[in-house]
């Protein structure tokens, strides 16, 4: 796992397409670092409800090169740029990504009510649209900390939800129907060879990513 950061690498050294990671306290965050059609490095990430941000890369993030053929990386870059133009203000933040896609024009499409994306499932959806499944969901664990996080997010974003949808989502959590893919797990999955990757193959790289970021920030 070759993790890039600004002290030793130029911020534009993204190999056409990379995945980006940062952390604040106990909360991780992820995004996509890509070259737009003008050859400029852009960071695309879902920050909040209806808040898709495209900006110049910054030193808060570390990044890792995506392990895909150049032709696929170029396609994802183009898809990212179209999404950034046509889904601004449209992407709902939600823990249940069921049926979420972006159409050929990059428009956020919600096929199932009471659904949306997190920063991590945003990346999964973008890659899936071009035929790349990053994660194999079979045997993905239900972790107590993830359930607590999901309930916190439902309560935090309840003001954005349709009437009674937070009760529906809480029932899904209680029934253990919603899996959580942590940002560090999504980012790590894009760097590995055997896509879609299982939890067992992602676990160690994602822990190494967290450790690297924590050690990097302890030195700053």
Task: Of 6-10, 80-84, 111-115, give the lowest mean pLDDT range.
Answer: 6-10
Report which listed range, 53-57, 119-123, 213-217, is most confident.
119-123
Q: If we measure between CA atoms, which residue out of 218, 203, 219 comes closest to residue 1?
A: 203
pLDDT digits (tens, 9 = 90+) for 10-61: 566 777 899 999 998 889 999 999 999 999 999 999 999 999 999 988 888 9
Tokens encoding 147 = 């359930």
pLDDT for 2: 77
DSSP the chain: --EE-TTTS-TT-S-SEEEEEEEETTEEEEEEEEE-TTS-EEEEEEEETTEEEEE---TT-EEEE--S-HHHHHHHHHHHHHHHHHSTTTPPB-S--TTEEE-TT--EEE-SSS--B-HHHHHHHHHHHTT---B--TT----HHHHHHHHHHHHHTGGGSPTTHHHHHHHHHHTT------HHHHHHHTTSSSSSBPHHHHHHHHHHHHHHHHHHHHH-
pLDDT for 164: 60
Is residue 158 predicted with pLDDT exceeding 90? Answer: no
Domain ranges of the chain: 3-219
pLDDT for 154: 79
pLDDT for 7: 64
Is residue 163 predicted with pLDDT exceeding 90? Answer: no
Contacts for 175 with CB less than 8 Å, ≥ 6 apart: none
pLDDT digits (tens, 9 = 90+) for 170-201: 776 776 678 999 999 999 999 998 899 999 99
**pLDDT confidence tier of residue 5, bands split at 50, 70 and 90:** confident
pLDDT for 155: 77
Is residue 1 predicted with pLDDT exceeding 70? Answer: no
Mean pLDDT of the chain: 89
């Amino acid at each position: 796992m070759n993790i890039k950061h600004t002290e030793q690498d130029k911020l534009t050294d993204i190999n056409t397409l990379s995945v980006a990671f940062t952390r604040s306290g106990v909360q991780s965050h992820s995004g996509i670092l890509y070259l737009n059609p003008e050859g400029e490095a852009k960071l695309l990430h879902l920050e909040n409800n209806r808040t898709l941000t495209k900006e110049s890369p910054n030193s808060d993030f570390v990044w890792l090169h995506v392990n895909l053929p150049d032709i696929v990386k170029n396609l994802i870059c183009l898809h990212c740029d179209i999404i950034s133009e046509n889904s601004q203000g449209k992407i709902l933040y939600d823990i249940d990504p069921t049926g979420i896609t972006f159409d050929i024009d990059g428009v956020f499409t919600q096929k199932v009510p009471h659904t949306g994306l997190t920063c991590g499932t945003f990346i999964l959806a973008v890659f899936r649209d071009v035929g790349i499944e990053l994660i194999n969901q079979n045997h993905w664990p239900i972790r107590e900390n993830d359930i607590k996080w999901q309930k916190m997010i439902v309560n935090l974003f309840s003001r954005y939800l349709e009437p009674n949808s937070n009760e529906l989502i809480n029932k899904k959590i209680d029934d253990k129907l919603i899996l959580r893919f942590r940002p560090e797990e999504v980012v790590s999955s894009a760097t590995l060879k055997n896509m879609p990757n299982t939890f067992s193959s992602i676990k160690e790289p994602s822990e190494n990513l967290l450790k690297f970021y924590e050690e990097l920030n302890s030195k700053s």
